[in-house]
Amino acid sequence: MNILIVDDEALARSRLQTLLADLGGHQCASAATAAEALALLTPAPGSSSHSPPFEVLLLDIHLPGQDGLQLARQLRQLAHAPAVVFVTAHTEHALSAFELDAVDYLTKPVRRERLQQALAKAARAQATPSAAPAPVPIPVGEALLIQDRGRTERVPLAEVLYCKAELKYVTVCSASRSYILDGSLSELEARYPQHWVRIHRNALVARHAIRALEKHRHPQEGDIWAVRLHGLAQWLSVSRRQLAVVRAALLH
């Protein structure tokens, strides 16, 4: 993979370059500031450079000038943004990092095994999504069993518009109400793989309910994408990595 290291400490850049060389199969470049990184990631208009794009960004958070979180937010607007792996000595920014769709968060000093895991995640995130599977009719009577205060209720799967992970539970939403399901998104996705489209790490939507993919302007985060579902007034945020999957689902 082509990897860009962004860290203002020369020793830290050298350490990552050494680890990448040990792992083999990677090409890397480095930058000391966000401005230098942007210059490498966004060639000047009319540039004749045919260098392949960077697939992964190993990004420090504390940088002079624009910090790593601000840079990652800005990169979300690129058509072909690299997968971001934060590499930092500080643990307190992990939540903010994952809200920006970072594929991993490494703390210094970085271990080779941990870096290898992060690169594997980045490779999966950057893989070209396969074409959306053809819709399959939901079997008559298929339903989710919801346990609520000693009461069991069958919620027809055809009525469920989306499911969202909330702490240890999953919120299951229809057009009229929501339920709490004791389970996980992964279990639902595995059980009904052709029914759902994953739009974010914490959300699945019913494939048949998707009506539109829209771009919204956020005052802090810039351009963000969201889907509209049939029968639902609110829009649901789509992560950058899932954009192609959602676009493919709209075509089927």
Q: Which residues of 128-164 are buried (b: 16+ CB within 10 A; e: fewer)?
A: eeeebeeeeebeeeeebebeeeeeeeebebbbbbbbb
Of residues 45 and 35, more confidently modeled: 35
| Residue 134 counted as domain residue | no
List, for residues 48-76, the tens digit of each pLDDT value: 444 447 999 999 999 999 999 999 888 87
Does residue 218 share a domain with residue 119?
A: no
- In this predicted structure, which of 97-101, 177-181, 189-193, 223-227 has the lowest mean pLDDT? 97-101
Rounded mean pLDDT, 105-111: 91
Question: In sequence order, which residues have a C-beta less than 8 Å from that of residue 197 and are 6 or more positions away?
Answer: 132, 204, 205, 206, 207, 210, 245, 246, 249
Whether pLDDT at 77 is above 80: no
d(CA 125, CA 239): 11
Does residue 116 share a domain with residue 147?
A: no
Among 79-83, 139-143, 159-163, 232-236, top mean pLDDT goes to 159-163
| Residue 135 counted as domain residue | no
| Residue 136 counted as domain residue | no
d(CA 145, CA 223): 38
Whether pLDDT at 160 is above 60: yes
Does residue 48 share a domain with residue 154?
A: no
Q: Give the residue numbers spanning the domain of 94.
A: 2-126
CATH of the domain at 9: 3.40.50.2300
Question: pLDDT class for 26, splitting at 50, 70, 90?
Answer: very high
Whether pLDDT at 185 is above 60: yes
* Number of domains forming the structure of the chain: 2
* pTM (2 d.p.): 0.55
Position 64 scores a pLDDT of: 93
Question: In sequence order, which residues have a C-beta less than 8 Å from that of residue 138 and are 6 or more positions away?
Answer: 157, 158, 192, 195
Does residue 168 share a domain with residue 78?
A: no
